Structure 1
Amino acid sequence: MPKAYVFTRYGGPETEALVEADRPGPGPGEVLVAVRAAGVNPVDWKQRTGYRRPGESDTRTFPAVFGNEVSGVVEEIGAGVDGIAVGDAVFGNTVAGGYAEYALLPVTVTAHKPAGLSFPDAAALPVAAATAYDGVRQLDLPAGATLLVTGAGGGVGSAAVQIARALGLRAVGVASEGKKDFVESLGALHVPSGPDLAARVRAAVPDGVDGVYDLIGGDVLAEAATLLDDPAKLITAGAPAPEVEKLGGARVERARNSAVLDEVARLVVSGRLDPHVTRTFPLEQAGEALRTVEDGHARGKIVIEVTA
């Protein structure tokens, strides 16, 4: 039987297991994919603890498969699916988990994988790169403006910096000293994270910043907000809506459609966006892959490679 990496209840790593699972069948508007690669994201372990995205159902069937993004080859298509056929190489967001040999994808958030895009790189795009793209577009800063990105060393942050640069923006990336070289390699001005962040940003960028894309929340979000003349140019994917709204900003508005996936794939193929897949793990080591992200020490993207 096909294998999947799951959590059996809400809790910590002790709830995780590699199990045999039935091969799912696609419903209307869905495609079944033989998974080649699955991206690993902080939201994966957060969901294991009981976290739910805004608007997400408060019910979950256990065992629940980890993962929210995959790439692979279409095995079956459900009713009403147009434009995608069996045998197509695709990538996208999952219906219910992707750390598995087979996964279901909604056709509305599935895109064809360009020939010049590897399966691991494609699997790294639907969550982090698409979130980064949506946020940078939401800010709608003019070319030449300065964007501050907190958490610039992670998957979303590193993509946001690169997308900002591709759109003609100046990028300032906040990250630990250990990620300085990485952030600078993306074309951003690095500012060390830690207390008194605003003072360091003002010293590094005397002419100020025009927008803030926050991926941390809490005190970092609050301090970064003080750098803006226009609080509407503050967005976050790292804090709940009430936390950013009281500062005059907003949550990142996710498009969640195939068009965004097509666009970020084009940026990769053109060389303007590197997903920075820094390490891959086999499905049998999915737990280790997840720990790498959960411990907060991952640089760039972690991907699980699957052989179905």
Structure 2
Amino acid sequence: MPKAYIFSGFGGPEVESFADLPRPVPGPGQLLVAVRAAGVNPVDWKRRTGYRPLGAPAPELPAVFGGEIAGVVEQLGADVEGFAVGDAVFGNPVGGGYAEYTLLPVALAAHKPEALSWADAATLPIAAATAYDGVVQLDLPPGATLLVTGAGGGVGVAAVQIAIARGLKVVGTASAAKEAFVTSLGAVHVASGPGVADRIRAAAPQGIDAVYDLVGGPALEEAAELLTDRTKLISGGDRETVAKLGGFPVARERTSAVLEAVAGLVTDGVLDPFVTQTFPLDRAGDALRAVEAGHARGKIVIELPTTP
């Protein structure tokens, strides 16, 4: 039977394991996809600990890790239009993505351009799409200054590039070790950590027009001090804190149109997903540890070059 990487309870890495699961059967409006690549994100290990976004149901256990994939359509469910067996696709699966096969709703799927690699495509449905939605939500005019906290991570890397492509000036906070990387994206790097607000003021004496937070907690609280207009404060992960501060969570669109837009940015050379490390499926745990450690630069991807 097809292999998948799962968590069987809530806790640490000890609840993770491989499992042989039945090949999924697509329902109405779904595609059965043979996975070629799966993006690895912080939310993956957070779900294992019991975290879930506000209003989201608890996952049924055991649950397969992963929320973004790229692969080949193997079978169509009823009422599917616009896709055919053999199509290369990417999107947000139901039932997890660290697996040889998964189900992909057509509403959360898009055709993969031939020029887009499997690994790059697998990074777009969560990281790049979240970055895109947030920058669009802020709707800043060209020349405005955007602060991105956590600029060296998967969403941050995409947000910096998309913002710069829209004519914005970007200040990005990240660890000192990521200074050269963040600077290479075109942002002004500011070292993260206590007292970061003062360092940001020194780096951006013209002021900050908006904050796209990807860290949460104290980093978000300090960043909020720099804004007079809290409608321009958004967070990609800390809904509770951003609400207390008068800001908003990132409003995710979760549409095929957004997936197509970010894919176009990659193929046009505007956006580089910066896949910095890949792992085979049988090392899914190592891939997850690399992200859970919090020091990953860019994106980590699980690759499945062949499927049974």
Report the TM-score when normalising by structure 2.
0.98
Any residues of structure 2 matched to 1:1-308 within 5 Å, and which? 1-58=1-58, 60-240=59-239, 242-306=240-304, 307-308=306-307
Secondary structure at the aligned position of 2:161 is classed as helix
Secondary structure at the aligned position of 1:202 is classed as helix
Secondary structure at the aligned position of 1:304 is classed as strand
Secondary structure at the aligned position of 1:54 is classed as coil
State the Cα distance separating 1:168 from its structure 2 match.
1.0
Residue identity over aligned pairs, in percent, reads 67
RMSD, aligned α-carbons:
0.8
Aligned length: 306
- For structure 1, the residue ranges without an aligned partner over 5 or more in a row are none
Larger deviation, residues 78-87 vs 258-267: 78-87
Instruction: Report the Cα distance in structure 2 between the residues aligned to 1:61 and 1:251, rounded to whole angstroms.
Output: 26
Larger deviation, residues 49-58 vs 69-78: 49-58
- For structure 2, the residue ranges without an aligned partner over 5 or more in a row are none
Secondary structure at the aligned position of 2:301 is classed as strand
Paired letter, 1:50: G
Paired letter, 1:11: G
Paired letter, 2:195: D
Instruction: Report the Cα distance in structure 2 between the residues aligned to 1:81 and 1:165, rounded to whole angstroms.
Output: 37
State the Cα distance separating 1:166 from its structure 2 match.
1.1
Instruction: Report the Cα distance in structure 2 between the residues aligned to 1:295 and 1:245, rounded to whole angstroms.
Output: 27
Paired letter, 1:17: S
Secondary structure at the aligned position of 1:133 is classed as helix
| CA shift digits 1:122-179 (9 cap, x unpaired) | 0011000000000000000001111000000000001000010111111111000000
Paired letter, 1:97: G
Instruction: Report the Cα distance in structure 1 between the residues aligned to 2:42 and 2:279, rounded to whole angstroms.
Output: 16
